Amino acid sequence: MPLKIALLPGDGIGPEVTAEAVRILKNVAEHAGKSLTFSTHNIGGVAIDSDGQGLPESTLEACLGANAVLLGAVGNPKFDGRVPSQRPEAALLALRQALGGYANLRPAICYAPLAKRTAFQPDKVKGADLLIIRELLGGLYFGEPRGFEASGDTAFNTLIYSRHEVERVARVAFARARERKGRVASIDKANVLECSQLWRRVVSEVAKEYPDVALEHVFVDTAAMRLATAPTSFDVMLCDNLFGDILSDQAASVAGSLGLLPSATLGGKVDLYEPVHGSAPDIAGQGLANPIGAIASAAMLLRFTAKMEKEAAEIEHAIEDALAAGARTRDLANPGERVLSTQEMGQAIEESLADVRDRRHSYHGV
Ligand code: NAD
């Protein structure tokens, strides 16, 4: 059975980075003898321009009929004057809601060759390998009521969580921690917010199902500070929608660039994979975007949807090897270093992938 992937390149650098992710997926499919089919659809600003709405019916239908969705990014400054519900970003929120994935996995790894690139002293960040699990369907981003009062000078949003929303995402966090270093830090603001008090209570209850996993509760402000001073002290960070959004961008500092971070959204009808970064209008169309976040998202697609763990791990090794060999897009380059275009970085990773496979075969041969 072919694996059907709905491809939503979106706005800005989205099409550039997803093209490189598709390059790698096609390469993997060819080598593994696996059939992957791609169908491309509009979302975000390009869809507002072409179809008059950010999430056209045809796009949604294609996504619901696929095994996985691979998305680039949405957002275009020309829509900045619109109210949130009319902007391209609303299409992504609507898509996430329709697909129903509630657990957003955002790994942030400090690749050894980039440790000096980060804002940290290399010895403080080397070995940092954290997984932020962000609750994606609840909390402040979806709570009702929301809006402006008639005067336009007062606005309000609602922070709301129910037990089942916390339970299901907490289970994902504990299950992933079991596969990793066995530690969950649950992030909240339980000293101020009732929602966080519920969050803390429910997470503590779920923790009893996973006695082999260590749980700590960390206030979000302390977590932000710890991420900035001791990122290696974290393994899995379990966050609500808002805190996870903010802390996962902060975790980019551990990696060295926002362009490196992938994500997977699981638990719904169809899994959604997308780099963490946005449409980066400042660099769009210039071949300057780092495609690694998108390529690593494709690796997560192979791991979680296609159950191709070996191939997923090979892509991740290929990324690390390409970086170790000095492949740098502009966001990663030090002054004087050769800068690769988006496409050249995709090619460099594709070449590393061939080497990773060769090495694997020769290990097996001896
Ligand atoms: P952004 O992530 O687009 O860019 C932030 C900074 O990081 C910019 O300087 C950009 O050049 C750089 N950057 C981002 N991705 C990069 C990559 N792959 N390679 C190299 N550099 C990269 O965030 P922003 O500027 O706050 O937002 C721009 C637009 O994207 C807005 O419309 C915003 O709403 C939207 N957005 C969309 C998503 C999404 O689609 N998931 C996420 C965040 C922001």
Domain count for the chain, please give it.
2
Mutate to test the pocket of ligand 1, among 76, 249, 258 (most ligand atoms within 8 A of CB): 258
Residues 121 and 65 in one domain: no
Q: What are phi and psi of 268, to 5 degrees?
A: -105, -160
Q: Give the pLDDT confidence of 3-43 residue by residue, as tens digits.
A: 999 999 999 999 999 999 999 999 999 999 999 999 999 99
Residues 111 and 252 in one domain: yes
Is 141 labeled as catalytic in the residue annotation? yes
The residue among 257, 283, 299 that closes a domain is: 257
Residues 136 and 253 in one domain: yes
The residue among 222, 257, 292 that closes a domain is: 257
The verdict on the CB of residue 253 being under 6 Å from ligand 1 is no
Is 126 labeled as catalytic in the residue annotation? no
The residue among 217, 237, 257 that closes a domain is: 257
- Tell me the residue range of the domain where 311 lies: 1-100+268-366
Distance (Å) from CA 74 to ligand 1 centroid: 9
Residues 205 and 250 in one domain: yes
Is 51 labeled as catalytic in the residue annotation? no
Window from 125-134, 312-321, 332-341, 356-365 with minimum mean pLDDT: 356-365
354's CB contacts (< 8 A; 6+ apart) are none
pTM assigned to the model: 0.91
The verdict on the CB of residue 74 being under 6 Å from ligand 1 is yes
Q: Give the pLDDT confidence of 219-236 residue by residue, as tens digits.
A: 999 999 999 999 999 999
Mutate to test the pocket of ligand 1, among 245, 277, 288, 332 (most ligand atoms within 8 A of CB): 277
Residues 110 and 252 in one domain: yes
- Decide: residue 168, CB within 10 A, 0-12 exposed, 13-18 middle, 19+ buried: middle
pLDDT of residue 119: 82
Q: Is the pLDDT of residue 68 over 70?
A: yes
Residues 234 and 273 in one domain: no
pLDDT of residue 195: 98
Residues 156 and 37 in one domain: no
| Strands, sheet with 36-40, edge to edge from the N-terminal-most edge strand | 36-40, 3-10, 68-73, 271-273, 264-266, 103-109, 129-135, 236-239, 183-188, 214-219
Residues 116 and 248 in one domain: yes
Is 189 labeled as catalytic in the residue annotation? yes
Q: Is the pLDDT of residue 174 over 90?
A: yes
Residues 132 and 87 in one domain: no
pLDDT of residue 366: 44
When pLDDT is averaged across residues 178-196 and rounded to a whole number, the result is: 97
- The active-site residue, picked from 102, 141, 161, 210, is 141
Mutate to test the pocket of ligand 1, among 76, 85, 93, 279 (most ligand atoms within 8 A of CB): 279
- The active-site residue, picked from 51, 129, 249, 355, is 249
- For ligand 1, atom 43, the nearest C-alpha belongs to 278
158's CB contacts (< 8 A; 6+ apart) are 140, 143, 144, 145, 146
Residues 91 and 115 in one domain: no
